[in-house]
Structure 1
C-alpha cells in the first residue's frame, strides 16, 4: 500500500489534486451526544442559561465545516457550496446529522465529520454546567458521493 500524504523523502505533504476532475460532491456524517433526560428537557424548554442550544450548535457545526482545513493538517481548503445540520431529539440523547456540499476536486467527508463534532462540542459547552456526564458518541461518515467512488455505510 502506498501512503499518499508522504513525499519521496518520507515527509508529510498535501496531496496535489490539481489534475482531478471537478465533480459534485456530497458527504453526510452523523453522531450523537448522550445526556440526562433532565438536560434534554431543559434544552427543549429553552431553559439553558447560555441560550438556544440547538440554534447555536447548528451555527457552530456549519462554522466548523468551513474551518476544517484550519484544524486538520492535510485537508485542502475547499469552497463549500452548502452545509446543513439537523437534530433529532430523543429522551436522553440528541442525534446530529451534517450534510456538506461542494463542486470540486476533492471530497467533503472531513468537513461533514467536523461539522457533527463541532455541533456536539457546542452542545456540550452550553450544557456542561447542568450535566457533567454528557458523552459525544458514534461520530461517523454515513454517505459520500462524487469523485472516483461513492460510499454508503450499511
Structure 2
C-alpha cells in the first residue's frame, strides 16, 4: 500500500517470539489551586460528573485497550494488566500508566495513549475550576509525558 507515493505497511511480527512486555508512561497535569482543590474534593463539577480521579483512571484503562484503533500501526495485542497511579500535588496531578502484555510487540504506545487520555479526562473533569474570566486556560497544561520504563522478559 502507498500513501503519497511512499510505501506503507504494518510491521510484520510473525517471526518474533512471544514475551512478557511491560511499559510505564508518566506525565503531569498542571492545575490552578482551584483545580487541585476540585480534584482533592472528589467532585468534578457542581452538577456532579463524578470523582475526577476515578473517572480518569477508567478512561486511561479504556484508552489502553483502544490504542490499535487510534494509532494506525499499533498491533492489537493481548493486554494482561493495566495499573493507573495518580498523585495529587500542590500544583497539579502526576499520573502513571503501567501496561503488561504477553506478545510479540511492545506496549509503550498503549501506555502513552492511556496516560494522555487519562490526563485529558482529568482536565475535562475539573475544567470549570480552571477557566479564567474569559473562558481560557492560561495556567492548565499537560507536561512531561514520557515512557519511563520498558521491560521485555522471557515467558516461563
TM-score bracket for this pair, using the shorter chain length: 0.7 to 0.9
- CA–CA distance in structure 2, aligned partners of residues 90 and 127 of structure 1: 15
Q: Report the RMSD for the aligned CA atoms in angstroms.
A: 1.7
1:106 touches 1:147 (CA, 8 Å); kept in 2? Answer: no
Give the aligned partner of residue 60 of structure 2. Answer: 61
Give the aligned partner of residue 152 of structure 1. Answer: none
Deviates more, 1:42-51 or 1:29-38: 42-51
1:42 aligns with 2:38: yes
Give the aligned partner of residue 30 of structure 1. Answer: 26
Deviation of residue 145 (structure 1)? 0.8
Secondary structure in structure 1 of the residue aligned to 2:117: helix
The structure with more strand, counted as a fraction of residues: 2
Structure 2: unaligned runs, 5 residues or longer: 132-136
Structure 1: unaligned runs, 5 residues or longer: 1-5, 149-154
**After the TM superposition, which parts of structure 1 deviate over 3 Å for at least 4 consecutive aligned residues?**
none
1:110 aligns with 2:109: yes
Tell me the TM-score normalised to structure 1 length.
Answer: 0.87
- CA–CA distance in structure 2, aligned partners of residues 109 and 75 of structure 1: 10
- CA–CA distance in structure 2, aligned partners of residues 43 and 33 of structure 1: 11
Deviation of residue 97 (structure 1)? 0.4
- CA–CA distance in structure 1, aligned partners of residues 43 and 55 of structure 2: 14
Instruction: Please point out which of 139, 148, 151 is paired with 1:142.
Output: 148
